[in-house]
């Protein structure tokens, strides 16, 4: 049974329609350059369409392809690997004045042999593509034009699976923030929260921790989009806490930033814009790659601009790297976060305690506050307070929780 309206001309082969989109923030930042980047991707589409895999693939218009089944008996007659290959080749980042741009790619295709002039088939592909786009990036819709049914197919390969999942997470607001309290050791009150990024596992495994995706996000460049999402969530949550708790709300919220984020020319401007409602004095930037930041003038300039606007700078995992003292010398730091390894000290607990005491004294001399990470017992709380440590963070005070549970922690802390 043919779909009504299909052309009676001799069919050419399978039709494939591919869409190329950008994240909303990329569109805003690209401005007039958007069309130039689209031209680059259109050229890439034409190049990708010439696959040497035993099939003939013709570009009939910008993103409509006709794939003829293999002419030899040994050729595959399955369009799915070809569509997947096309999307993978197109997924490489495009260069622009604002850095690398990561296109959102989807496809709709049919095994029903058609001609490129079949208006009904082309309309069906367009409708199918809208369904694929609604799911995020890296998804194709296979259409059965005869039965008028559709089937969603993820197009990720093992190499692009995590990158595709990250793109879909950003597009569908599945970047979730958990919040871990930072508590004043003198009074036990929550003074701040660290915002911890999580991604929804598409395979039903709950939430993915940063250990699963941050390195890949940095390698692919998607760390910039994830970073913007984290800043927006953190700023919005701080505004909500201030509205609910007023003066009892935590004073600051900490967000981890990578060296590559800070080196982005627009980072300081974006951070200031995102935090305009609650003010930069509510933001703490936790540096996770201080060694790289030292070597990047652009990153250090961004820190100076944001710190001048009221943001704090925190040196994370202090004590792990031998060159940490150079970081204190070269960077203006407001918070020194002591690595958890100094809390138990192992067989050299007394030496660890002596070093910790000296670090606290040094930080205070530099007008920096000290946070001890990994606090897990009441005994540690008393010991750290006796050494002059300002704040604690860890299991003793609560691990990362969702926004609702964090609000309950604030209510209990301020009673």
> Does a structural domain hold residue 305?
yes
Confidence of residue 55 (pLDDT cuts 50, 70, 90): low
Least confidently predicted of 245-254, 289-298, 348-357, 387-396 = 289-298
Choose between 414 and 178: higher pLDDT: 178
376-382: average pLDDT: 92
Are 206 and 282 contained in the same domain? yes
pLDDT at 332 over 80: yes
60-78: average pLDDT: 65
> Does a structural domain hold residue 113?
yes
91-108: average pLDDT: 78
Would you state the pLDDT for residue 2? 39
> Does a structural domain hold residue 267?
yes
Q: Can you tell me the distance from the alpha carbon of 118 to that of 110, in angstroms, rounded to the nearest whole number?
A: 12
The number of folded domains in the chain is 2
Q: Can you tell me the distance from the alpha carbon of 113 to that of 23, in angstroms, rounded to the nearest whole number?
A: 34
In whole angstroms, how far apart are CA 4 and each of 88, 115, 163, 306? 33, 14, 39, 61
Are 233 and 128 contained in the same domain? no
> Does a structural domain hold residue 71?
yes
Are 217 and 330 contained in the same domain? yes
Considering 155, 184, 208, which residue would you say is the last residue of a domain? 155
Are 140 and 217 contained in the same domain? no
CATH number at residue 245: 3.20.20.450
> Does a structural domain hold residue 277?
yes
Q: Is 279 helix (H, G, I), strand (E, B) or coil?
A: coil
Are 135 and 167 contained in the same domain? no
pLDDT at 97 over 80: no
Count the neighbouring beta carbons within 10 Å of the beta carbon of residue 133.
18
Are 137 and 216 contained in the same domain? no
> Does a structural domain hold residue 333?
yes
Whole-number percent of the chain with pLDDT over 70: 85
> Does a structural domain hold residue 47?
yes
Are 245 and 129 contained in the same domain? no
Confidence of residue 56 (pLDDT cuts 50, 70, 90): low
Considering 117, 139, 155, which residue would you say is the last residue of a domain? 155
The H or E element spanning position 371 is strand 369-373
Contacts of 211 (CB under 8 A, 6+ apart): none
Are 109 and 201 contained in the same domain? no
Considering 155, 181, 212, which residue would you say is the last residue of a domain? 155
Are 168 and 151 contained in the same domain? no
Are 369 and 230 contained in the same domain? yes
Top mean pLDDT of 63-72, 195-204, 327-336, 392-401 is at 392-401
pLDDT at 3 over 50: no
- The pLDDT mean for the chain works out to 82
Count the neighbouring beta carbons within 10 Å of the beta carbon of residue 297.
9
Are 408 and 269 contained in the same domain? yes
Would you state the pLDDT for residue 106? 87
55-69: average pLDDT: 69
Would you state the pLDDT for residue 397? 93
Confidence of residue 1 (pLDDT cuts 50, 70, 90): very low
pLDDT at 394 over 90: yes
Q: pTM of the prediction?
A: 0.71
Beta strand pairing status for 56-61 and 64-68? antiparallel
Which among 329, 335, 393, 326 has a CA at the least distance from the CA of 190? 393
Q: Can you tell me the distance from the alpha carbon of 307 to that of 288, in angstroms, rounded to the nearest whole number?
A: 17
Least confidently predicted of 31-40, 317-326, 357-366 = 317-326
- Structural domain boundaries enclosing 372: 163-413
Are 210 and 310 contained in the same domain? yes
Q: SS3 sequence, 383-404?
A: HHHHHCCCEEECCCCCCCECHH
> Does a structural domain hold residue 5?
no
pLDDT by residue (tens digit) across 105-123? 889 998 887 877 888 888 8
CATH number at residue 134: 3.30.70.270
């Amino acid at each position: 049974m043919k779909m009504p309206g299909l052309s009676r001309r001799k069919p050419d082969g399978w039709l494939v329609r591919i869409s190329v989109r950008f994240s909303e923030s990329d569109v805003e930042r690209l401005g007039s350059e958007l069309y130039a980047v689209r031209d680059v991707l259109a050229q890439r589409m034409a190049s990708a369409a010439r696959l040497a895999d035993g099939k003939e693939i013709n570009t009939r218009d910008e993103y409509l392809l006709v794939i003829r089944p293999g002419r030899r008996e040994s050729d595959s007659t399955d369009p799915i690997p070809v569509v997947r290959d096309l999307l993978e080749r197109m997924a490489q980042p495009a260069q622009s004045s604002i850095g690398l741009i990561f296109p959102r790619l989807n496809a709709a295709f049919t095994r029903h042999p058609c001609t490129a002039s079949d208006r009904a088939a082309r309309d069906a592909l367009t409708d199918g593509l809208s369904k694929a786009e609604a799911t995020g990036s890296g998804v194709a819709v296979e259409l059965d034009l005869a039965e008028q049914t559709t089937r969603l197919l993820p197009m990720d390969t093992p190499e692009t699976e995590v990158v595709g999942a990250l793109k879909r997470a950003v597009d569908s607001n599945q970047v979730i923030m958990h919040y871990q309290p930072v508590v004043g050791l003198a009074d036990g009150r929550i003074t701040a929260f660290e915002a911890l990024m999580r991604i929804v596992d598409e395979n039903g495994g709950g939430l993915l921790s940063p250990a699963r995706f941050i390195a890949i996000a940095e390698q692919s460049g998607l760390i910039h989009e994830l970073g913007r999402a984290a800043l927006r969530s953190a700023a919005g949550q701080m505004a909500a806490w201030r509205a609910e708790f007023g003066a009892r709300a935590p004073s600051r919220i900490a967000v981890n930033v990578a060296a590559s984020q800070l080196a982005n020319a627009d980072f300081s401007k974006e951070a200031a814009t995102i935090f305009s409602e609650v003010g930069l004095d509510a933001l703490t930037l936790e540096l996770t790659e201080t060694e790289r930041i030292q070597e990047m003038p652009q990153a250090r300039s961004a820190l100076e601009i944001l710190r001048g606007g009221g943001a704090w700078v925190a040196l994370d995992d202090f004590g792990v790297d031998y060159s940490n003292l150079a970081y204190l010398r070269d960077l203006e730091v407001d918070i020194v976060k002591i690595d958890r390894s100094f809390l138990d000290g192992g067989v050299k607990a007394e030496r660890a305690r002596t070093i910790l005491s000296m670090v606290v004294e040094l930080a205070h001399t530099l007008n920096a506050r000290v946070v001890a990470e990994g606090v897990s017992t009441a005994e540690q709380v008393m010991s750290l307070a006796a050494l002059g440590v300002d704040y604690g963070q860890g299991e003793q005070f609560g691990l990362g929780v969702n926004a609702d549970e964090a609000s309950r922690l604030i209510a209990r802390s301020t009673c």
